[in-house]
Amino acid sequence: MWNASRNSRAVATAIGQAADGATDSRHRQGMNEAYSRTTPISAQKPVPTGPPTSIELGPPLRYTGTRLRPGEIGQSGAMRPASSKPFRIYLQYIKGLMMSSTFDQIANIIAETCDIPRDTIKPESHAIDDLGIDSLDFLDIAFAIDKAFGIKMPLEKWTQEVNDGKATTEQYFVLKNLADRIDELVAAKNAGTGTGA
């Protein structure tokens, strides 16, 4: 994972190279000539000719968590279940990439639609009370959710239920509950029973 503080040196180096690349070429050539007169060629730094193609990662970023130790591969050749913490975190990360939950999709839609930082959107967040989403923004969100899941969220029915005191806003606007409602609508659609809209 990127660590800005640990890699400030590497970034500064990269930026410096980019800045060098943008320096006036005549000035750079003159400097290089002066430099080459007093410095053996073998000791010269390579002169950057353009923006860097990669950023060198410093030693702290080298990942060593999966290095096999003696005995980790059994006679059958199968790797033993990894138990090191870095490896578990890595597995969780891969799992997260492969499986995007309904909540994650909703959260991403909200973050993108309403310009809310993604990491502030939690399953327990109330769309209105916690995230401050107004009804107009929620139209945008409903549009995106409808399209993403191929459903028609019955917003009017939900609103009526809340107004009639038959439901609370938490049932529909706390995001983990909203995710459940969406899962139900998708399941109903897949079962061919409609969305109840």
Task: Tell me: does residue 197 bind another protein (CB under 8 A).
Answer: yes
From 147, 144, 174, 106, select the one nearest 158 (Cα to Cα): 174
- CA separation for the pair 32, 15 (Å, rounded): 20
- Give the DSSP H or E segment for 184: helix 175-190
Task: Tell me: does residue 188 bind another protein (CB under 8 A).
Answer: no
Please report how close the Cβ of residue 89 comes to another protein at its closest, in angstroms. 40
Pull the structure tokens for residue 140: 């945008």
Instruction: Pick between residue 10 and residue 114 the one whose CB is nearest to another protein.
Output: 114
Please report how close the Cβ of residue 153 comes to another protein at its closest, in angstroms. 6
Which residues are CB-contacts of 142 (< 8 A; sequence separation ≥ 6)?
A: 153, 155
Return the residue of 34, 61, 89, 139 that touches another protein, per CB under 8 A: 139
Task: Tell me: does residue 114 bind another protein (CB under 8 A).
Answer: no
The full length of the chain comes to 197
Task: Tell me: does residue 154 bind another protein (CB under 8 A).
Answer: yes
Residues that bind another protein (CB under 8 A): 136, 139-140, 142-143, 146-147, 152-157, 159, 197
